[in-house]
Structures are given as C-alpha cells and as structure tokens.
Structure 1
Amino acid sequence: MRVISGQMKGKKLKSVAGMSTRPTSDKVKEAIYQILGPYFDGGVVLDLYAGSGAMGIEALSRGMDKGIFNDKTGQAIRTIKENLRETGLMEQSEVYRNDAQKALNHLAERNLQFHLIILDPPYQKQAIPENLSSICELDLLHAHGVILCEHDRKVELPEKIDGIVKVRNLAYGDTVISLYEWSELHA
C-alpha cells in the first residue's frame, strides 16, 4: 500500500495488522481520486473509519490542508499515527479514537465542516445511512463538499437522504463507491 499521487507520492503505508480492516486497493483509490478531481486546493478531510489512514493521507498528499482521522480500535490508531509520521503529515492532522457517532458529535461541537468526508466502515458493520443522516443533521458537510462512501456491492444506499443526493455510483468488483453532495435545494 502506498500514496498514489501528490506531495507524498510513492511513500509506503502500513496496513492495520489482522483481518479487522480491509484496505482500499491502490486501483480503487486511484479511480476515486480521479473522480473527485486529482488534486485539491485546500480544504479539510474527515476519514471517519480511517483504518490505516490511507484514504485521508491520499487527500492530504493531493492538497487538502487538514485531515481528521477517526477509528475505534487502538491498533488502527497506532497505524494511522505511524503512517502520518512516515509521510510527514502529522502536524496537519488530528487523530481520534472513538466510535463514529461520538466522533461526529464531537466534531459538530467544534463547528467544523468538511470538504471531503470518507465513510468506509467494515463491510459487516455498515451504518452508512445513519452516518449520512448525522452528517446532515450536524451540518458537518461544507456547502461544496462531497461524502465518499465505500461499501459492499450487496449494500444499496438511498438516492437521497436528509438534504444530500447520490451523484455517482461506481462498482469495482465487490466494492462500490457512492458519492453524495448537498442537493441544489439546500445550497
């Protein structure tokens, strides 16, 4: 696993030991960032189920100003911090150990908004619709932000939920990427 592009291109990343996380393949990661736009002009990324932190690190490497990484396992937190140190991105990052809903509540208390929110929960513990509702209710998505959901092909996500709409749905083998943005009515 490595950083695909940007300032940290080619840096190797460690994955979380064991079978509890499923890293996004480099092929899928490259496809995702080609869809989002290969590079960013600043902004803040939230990697809510960060695992190794690879997806958020890729966003930072491609131009995001700040990254917030969250995971609920100690092993993942250690791996994220190690990868951030290895890439030199620790100073522009915050790392939290919390369950997803508590993390979202905490970030809302800080009045944060994100330009990119990454939801890639373990496939067997999908709570993406609930996460999407919370993100909307807590006003965590920037007006021009995007929510990227990575999920199993068997999971069907709603077209609309609480002010956001699915704008893309792409399949890569058993992995599906769904992108959400605020609906035009919200803007």
Structure 2
Amino acid sequence: MRVITGIAKGKKLETLEGMDVRPTTDRVKEGMFSAIQFDLENSLVLDLFAGSGQLGIEALSRGACSAVFVDNSKKSLDIVKNNLTKTDFMDKSLLFNMNSMDFLKITDKKFDIIFLDPPYNKGILLEILPMLTNKLNFNGKIICEHEKNLVLPEKIENLRLKKTYKYGKINVSMYLFDGEDE
C-alpha cells in the first residue's frame, strides 16, 4: 500500500494484518480521488473508520490542509500515527481513538470531505450517514466505500446521492448537498 500522488507520492504505508482488514486497493483509491481531485486543495478532511489512515493521508498529500482520523482500534491508530510520521503529516492531523458515532455526537467540526469505509455487512453506513448531515460544509462531499450489494438511499435529509462507482465487489458512493449542481 502506498501514497499514489502528491507531495508524499510513493511512500509506503503500513496496514494491520488479519482477516478483518480490508485496505482500499490502489484502483479504488485512484477512482475516489479522481472524482474529488479539484476539491482537495485546502480542504478539511475526516477519515472516519480510519484503519491505516491511507485515505486521509492521500488527501493530505494532494493538498488538503488538515485531516481528522477516527478509529476505535488503538492498534489502527498506532498504524495511522506511524504512517503520518513517515509522510510528515502529523502536524496537519488530529487522531481520535473512539467509536465513530460517539465522535460525531461530540464534535462541532465541519468538514469539506468525509471518507467512510466502515466494516461491511453490519448496517453501519446506513446508520451513520444521517449523522453527517450537519458535519459537512456547503459544497462538501461524502465518499462511502461499501460492499456491492448495499443499496444506499438517493436522499438523506439534505444530502443526495450523486453517483455510485463500481469496482468488482466494491462500490464507492458519493453524497453532496441536495440542490448542488455538480
């Protein structure tokens, strides 16, 4: 696993080992970032369910001004910390070792880009999306990586599904504010 482009291009990133770990493949990551490439400069990023932190780190490498990483696994956050140190992005980052839903309940921060890659087949995405409607800045985007058989709603309060990209067994869906002409 590596940073694809930007100022940390080519840097290798660590990931946890095990059956429950599902790092985003380079192909999927390239697709995600192609869809938001013009939105990254000076953006505020939230990497919820951070895992190794690769999505937030890729955003920082491509010009995001800061990123918040949230994961309930201390081991995962230790990996994120190592990866941020390797890529020299620790000074642009905040890390929270806590449940993602609890973080959303206590934070008053708003973000330009929110990455969601929760564990598959547990209904977490459908539960957490409504919690994000007041955590997204105007013109912000929510990028959800999920299993291909999960059908996401077209509209969630003030958010609308813009597009779903298909990559074999993985789908990536993007939500925007309803009424935005993108």
With structure 2 as the length reference, what TM-score do the two structures score? 0.95
Paired residue type of 2:12: K
Match of 1:125 among 118, 122, 127: 122
8 Å Cα contact 1:146/1:180 also seen in 2 = yes
Listed as ranges, the matches of 1:1-187 within 5 Å are: 1-37=1-37, 40-108=40-108, 112-136=109-133, 139-184=134-179
Instruction: Give RMSD over aligned pairs.
Output: 1.3
Once residues 153 and 5 of structure 2 are traced to their aligned partners in structure 1, the CA distance between those partners, rounded to angstroms, is 31
Paired residue type of 2:142: I
8 Å Cα contact 1:39/1:62 also seen in 2 = no
Q: Per-residue displacement from partner, 1:19-69 (whole Å, max 9, x unpaired)?
A: 222100011101111111267220110000100000110000000000000
Gaps of 5+ in 1: none
- How far is the alpha carbon of 1:76 from its aligned partner? 0.4
Q: Per-residue displacement from partner, 1:61-120 (whole Å, max 9, x unpaired)?
A: 000000000011111011000100010000100111111110111222xxx110100010
8 Å Cα contact 1:49/1:119 also seen in 2 = yes
8 Å Cα contact 2:145/2:172 also seen in 1 = yes
Task: Decide whether aligned partners of structure 1 residues 39 and 182 sit closer, same or farther in structure 2, where only a CA change above 3 A counts.
Answer: closer
SS at match of 2:28: helix
Paired residue type of 2:132: I
With structure 1 as the length reference, what TM-score do the two structures score? 0.93
8 Å Cα contact 1:45/1:117 also seen in 2 = yes
Report the more deviating stretch, 69-78 or 119-128: 119-128
Once residues 39 and 9 of structure 1 are traced to their aligned partners in structure 2, the CA distance between those partners, rounded to angstroms, is 19
**Consecutive aligned runs of 4 or more in structure 1 exceeding 4 Å deviation:** none
Paired residue type of 1:46: L
8 Å Cα contact 1:39/1:63 also seen in 2 = no
- How far is the alpha carbon of 1:154 from its aligned partner? 1.0
